[in-house]
Structure 1
């Protein structure tokens, strides 16, 4: 073990790590030499020196090419991480030196785009003028594939109650109750003791059946003996919901924060009838194996701050990770 420690302290360098990773990628000394623009003897000599210095066998030479040993594979994983971090540091230093803009892509649910995102943008612009953020609105069935493909850095969306797939990490930011909204001057505003039987007399505006929130809403309505009539609107569009509420007698289900926002604007009225046990668990989702810059960390901190101002801290804690 002393030989390993001594070699790492005195001799391990950037060239060793590049050759290790390239050998793992190409499994062929000739191809590695061409890739790194060095001679084949130089590659072989570096690998031999590395193995001798560590006192470890890192690669087997087989008919299929160079195969890493278990020890070699372990060292290669760390070499990849180190090279990746160095590359990220290089990029960040260059951006700072050249006063270049950091770019962040955020996918958001419609329910978050009206209340949370404007406050997020205002806060971001006040402290990070060199950050360019691209925001795409969509449903979870479109946002998560976008995250997987690298088109989005984060998704601000609804978190399931069960743990997410191990490929994701997530943080619960706010638990937003569901509210029932109607237009100003709606007949139900005059009902003194409002019940769900009264609500059942009017058309409903609901999320589509594929939406995360639809199942608990259906279960709640069934428990209250409210039949979902054929005369209904199904949409995830916030503006369609609000517009339909304004111009019809339809009843809409919206997040409490969204309902309060439009109520303050004089657009809708929130009916004094609770929807218990239906919480919108809004949080941030990102890829578990992706490295993130300081700009990305700033996004998370600002979203935490904005959501703290909208309601109490989530009961399940601040750091809910999937996996």
Structure 2
């Protein structure tokens, strides 16, 4: 069985089989699969039967509500999606080379914690390689890390999550900067030279969402100073929304120090003179250890490293 399965996967499994699996898993109905693939229903049924026969396992169970993947079907479909994504990446790289560009890198970013680092690194990348194109996807660790594992992203940049117990990812620490409390310029506390933690009690907050890597340690730190979070808050990971709302409200927010001190902003933010403990691991970059990094991704990591060194020198 093992030898036959290995032979079939190595020799007979084709890209059309992968596309068939993904399409069936998406629609769970062979008639719809036939319609969207512009193939006759008997041909779709025959292809699925040949695939199951070649593998020696049932991939889908036929029920009154349509096709349901078996455990074997779930396993192979998951890998089929991953393999098709790799093929699409190869197509994009080949097309880029033919068009005279130098490749593409897809980056997931945890926006509140890495915006300045990534912004400067992207500028450096474009100086060094104008033909390297970049796709940026913002999100939480919970949404970005599965995409990184499945190959939908090349890198994830932001505050490093807790060490990966399964060893799925490689990581590189880039910038260890504090988390600070910030307000807009009109806030009653903005220009105070000294503050007590109790001074924060009357004001609303802009918080990272529940489940984000910063929320729980922030709550613990504030509670240790008898500053419980009230029901008066906004939850967002959007740095743009945070900055804009701070300028029109009396909210308090948390932000990485480099983002808070960004001198490019027309309306500066004010850092409150209260020190939080080290809430998070350093900002860094993650990639999937079982996938080979493309030259574009390697160049991006190099630009991130150089940018981090420059930002660290500015703080000193």
* TM surpasses 0.5: yes
1:305-316 residue pairs with structure 2 within 5 A? 305-311=306-312
- Structure number with bigger Rg: 1
User: Does 2:154 match 1:173?
Assistant: no
Aligned counterparts, 1:213-224, within 5 A? 213-224=214-225
**Which residue pairs with 2:7 in the alignment?**
26
CA–CA distance in 2 between the matches of 1:162 and 1:144? 12
- Residue of structure 1 equivalent to 2:28: none
| 1:137-176 deviations in Å (ceiling 9; x for gaps) | 1111111111122111111132134344312111111122
CA distance in 2, matches of 1:210, 1:233: 15
What CA deviation, in whole Å up to 9, does each residue of 1:175-225 have, x standing for no partner? 221111111132113544311110122111111121101111111101100
Q: Does 1:261 align with 2:242?
A: no
For 1:146 and 1:93, the matched residues in 2 are separated by 22
- The answer for the alignment partner of 2:249 in structure 1 is 248
- Return the TM-score normalized by structure 1: 0.65
The 2-side partners of 1:265 and 1:281 are apart by 28
Cα distance in 2 for partners of 1:100, 1:185 equals 47
CA distance in 2, matches of 1:251, 1:262: 19
**Counterpart in the other structure of 1:105:** 106
How is 1:265-304 mapped onto 2 (pairs within 5 angstroms)? 265-304=266-305
Q: Deviations over 1:104-153 (max 9, x none)?
A: 11111112563122212211111112211111111111111111221111
TM-score (ref. length: structure 2): 0.66
Q: Could you tell which deviates more after superposition, 140-149 or 107-116?
A: 107-116
Q: Work out the number of aligned pairs and report it.
A: 239
The gaps in structure 1 that reach 5 residues or longer are: 1-21, 36-63, 66-87, 314-323
**Equivalent residue number for residue 198 of structure 1:** 199
Asked if the contact 2:219/2:228 (under 8 Å) is kept, the reply is no
Instruction: Please provide the CA RMSD for this pair.
Output: 3.3
